[in-house]
Structure 1
Amino acid sequence: MTKIPNYKRIYMDLIDRKYPEKQAICDSILAQEKLSFMDVIRLNEIMFEKNKKEKLLRDHKYRSYDEKTIIKILKYQKENQLNNSQVANHFKMSRNTIANWKKIF
């Protein structure tokens, strides 16, 4: 049985201790009962801002996606009629990853 971190509690603690000024922005996302992977990405972008590009690139290297999130990303691609490169740029990942997912799913 795999244990999933309680992201909601983690981000609530982060906001309380380090980023109380971002409470209002994050409240709508944290109001959900369970956070999806996409919610965690949004919270991460809000909390740590995009201007630290080097750190973000390093962090993206070690991301992992669950099946539900992969299907959402592929559905987003289909609904918006995007090619693999466009989807990869939008979600900041490799276009080869998107191609592999399309073969699997």
Structure 2
Amino acid sequence: MMPNYKQIFTDILNQKFPHKKEFCKNILSKANITQLDVIKLNQIIFESKPKISTTNQKFKAYNKSTIVRILRYQAQNQLNNTQIANHFNLSRNTVSKWRKQFEIN
């Protein structure tokens, strides 16, 4: 069972950041919010990539469709593994493993 991200982010925007509602309107109007949308909402609302502790980092999980979208983003923007890892706050080894697993060069 997935959390209701739409409700969570709507509540955060209503209570703490009402001035940022307009920037998040397009994402929150979607029927289904993907994991990449959650990352984008975090960046918009909190204005930068938050410093994530290694403890928090252990609990990140990505489904197959999100992994494929990340790898396509890498290919479209001609980023190397280090650049895409920094962009999405991942390990270079994780990106390398995904590329081998999904055979995307």
Q: Which amino acid aligns with 2:11?
A: D
**How far 1:61 sits from its partner (Å)?**
4.3
Q: Deviations over 1:43-68 (max 9, x none)?
A: 111222327x5xx2214443211111
In the alignment, does 2:6 pair up with 1:8?
yes
Note the residue ranges of structure 1 that are not aligned, 5 or more in a row.
none
* CA distance in 2 between partners of 1:62 and 1:46 (Å): 22
Match of 2:83 among 86, 96, 100: 86
* CA distance in 2 between partners of 1:95 and 1:62 (Å): 17
Note the residue ranges of structure 2 that are not aligned, 5 or more in a row.
none
Please report the TM-score for the alignment, with normalisation by the length of structure 1: 0.83
**Aligned positions, number:** 100
- Root mean square deviation of aligned Cα: 1.7
Aligned partner of residue 16 in structure 1, secondary structure: helix
* CA distance in 2 between partners of 1:101 and 1:40 (Å): 20
Q: Which amino acid aligns with 2:100?
A: K
**Cα–Cα, structure 1 residues 49 and 80, in superposed 2: closer, same or farther, change >3 Å?**
closer
Q: Which amino acid aligns with 2:60?
A: R
Aligned partner of residue 57 in structure 1, secondary structure: coil
In the alignment, does 2:34 pair up with 1:39?
no
